[in-house]
Amino acid sequence: MRRVAITGVGVISAMGKTTDEFWANLAAGRSGIRTIQTCDTSQLRFKNGAEYTEFSHQPYFTDKQVDYLDRFAQFAVIAAREAVEQSGIVWTDDLRERTGIVTGSCTGGQITEDLGFRDIYEFKRNRIHPLSIPKVMGNAGASQISMEYGIVGPAYTVTTACSSSAHAFGQAFWLVRNGVVDFAITGGSEAPFSYAFLKSWEAMRVVSPDTCRPFSADRTGMVLGEGAAMFTLEPLDHARARGANILGEISGFGMSADASHITVPNPKGAARAMRAAMTDAGITPEQVGYVNAHGTATRANDISETLALRETFGEHLARLPVSSTKSMHGHGLGAAGALEAAATVLALRHGVLPPTMNYRELDPECDMDVIPNVARPAQVEYALSNSFAFGGLNAVLAFRNSA
């Protein structure tokens, strides 16, 4: 099997419009959580989100182009462009056939759907915009990326709620590792800020009225976030041969299903996915030096994830830093796995572990080294990135520092 290198990373989020901005803010502990601007929050129990408030489709797309692109697909293409440019790949017709695209999204173009359905139900209009279907479909991001570069190999989208883009990343990794493709673009994107969708989250009573405080005893729930992260993957020997800048390696992918409850997480399922990722990477728990946690800051997730980490790492957990960067970029749902994969790859590359921000008080049931509030310099070879979805579908990625 081929080793797989990461040669490009693109990120657009509440933490900035590029990977460099994302990393600078992560390392400095500057949160993207702020008052939601694109939706009326006057009738919502929460007002805050990790929204990219300043976002405009310009200069990325013309007005004509953007008629075809929901916000989530715009994010997908923008992040893919940054990753591809960074990779320095030179496209040939042969490579376009040997390239795959696997994206993740939880809710697709639901902002477009929300507006269209208001036309029908609220404003009693008799027709809906003809581009609604191609804008709403969850694979719009993957399709738009394929058209952007003329990529004609395997391309599809994975939707597994909050694990979507981690599952997508793992699929793309395996496609490259097993020789199905020679180059891949993967990641995820999400644009969750529409009124009805926020109301749906409000009804679940899991969104914080304040901010996201993962693993802190006084945590009050999650904060939604938007954006995209995309990566270019290729065989390590190909990347070396063409002199590409190798940012890190994706070395393992593990999946599991809880099969226990549609919303309550089960630590045994999470632990199985972490073990599977390490087995796939051919490493032992003691080799892991950092875990980017799912860490939603809900009462249930953070306790369940701590139990899973204890089961997986045993005594090694006492020496294993674990942080949740959702405290800064929010919960990106279908983009979460990709945003956190970016945080993990960049942490290994820069030798700095991003903090868990907004942390105030030890919870005895989450008694781990969560890198509270301040980033920490550390040279780490292997790291895991955890994603655990509603529906009990878990995906864990193992990354290796190639420096």
Partner 1 sequence: MPDEITQRVLHVIADAQRLAPEKVTVDKTFQELGIDSMDGVSLLFALENEFDINIPDEAAKSIRSVQDMVDGVKKILEHGGTLPADLIPPTPAGETKEPVEGSSEGAPVA
Kindly list the catalytic residues.
Answer: 162, 294, 331
> Is residue 298 at the binding interface for partner 1, with CB under 8 A as the rule?
yes
Q: Which tokens is 250 given?
A: 């994706």
392 Rama class: left (phi>0) / alpha (psi -120 to 50) / beta: left
Determine which residue in the list 209, 282, 314, 351 makes contact with partner 1, applying CB under 8 A. 209
Span 83-122, contacts to partner 1 by CB under 8 A:
none
**Per-residue x/- track, 384-403, partner 1 (CB under 8 A):** ----xxxxx-----------
> Is residue 164 at the binding interface for partner 1, with CB under 8 A as the rule?
no
* Interface segment toward partner 1; rule CB under 8 A; list 53-61, 143-151, 197-205, 236-244: 197-205
Amino acid at 140: A
Q: Which tokens is 76 given?
A: 């997908």
Span 342-371, contacts to partner 1 by CB under 8 A:
363-365
Instruction: Let me know: does 387 contact 294? Beta carbons within 8 Å.
Output: yes
With residue 200 as reference, give the H or E element that holds it: helix 195-204
Q: Which tokens is 1 given?
A: 């099997």
The angle formed by the CA atoms of residues 139, 144 and 145, to the nearest 5 degrees, is 100
Q: Considering CB under 8 A, how many residues would be counted as binding partner 1?
A: 38
* Interface segment toward partner 1; rule CB under 8 A; list 112-120, 127-135, 213-221, 246-254: 213-221
Residue 375's SS3 state is: coil
Nearest alpha-carbon partner for 186 in 395, 401, 402: 395
Q: Which is nearer to partner 1, 24 or 264 (CB)?
A: 264
**Per-residue x/- track, 220-239, partner 1 (CB under 8 A):** -xx-----------------
Instruction: Let me know: does 303 contact 226? Beta carbons within 8 Å.
Output: no
Smallest separation, CB 165 to partner 1 (Å): 14
Smallest separation, CB 350 to partner 1 (Å): 29
> Is residue 42 at the binding interface for partner 1, with CB under 8 A as the rule?
no
User: Rounded to whole angstroms, what are the CA distances from 349 to 18, 153, 277, 306?
Assistant: 16, 30, 20, 26
Instruction: Let me know: does 246 contact 236? Beta carbons within 8 Å.
Output: yes
Q: Is the C-alpha dihedral spanning 264, 268, 271, 276 positive or negative?
A: negative
Determine which residue in the list 1, 147, 152, 264 makes contact with partner 1, applying CB under 8 A. 264
Residue 3's SS3 state is: coil
Smallest separation, CB 116 to partner 1 (Å): 25
Determine which residue in the list 245, 263, 279, 284 makes contact with partner 1, applying CB under 8 A. 263
Given the rule CB under 8 A, which residues bind partner 1? Answer: 45, 161-162, 203-206, 209, 217-218, 221-222, 260-268, 294, 296, 298-301, 303-304, 307, 363-365, 388-392
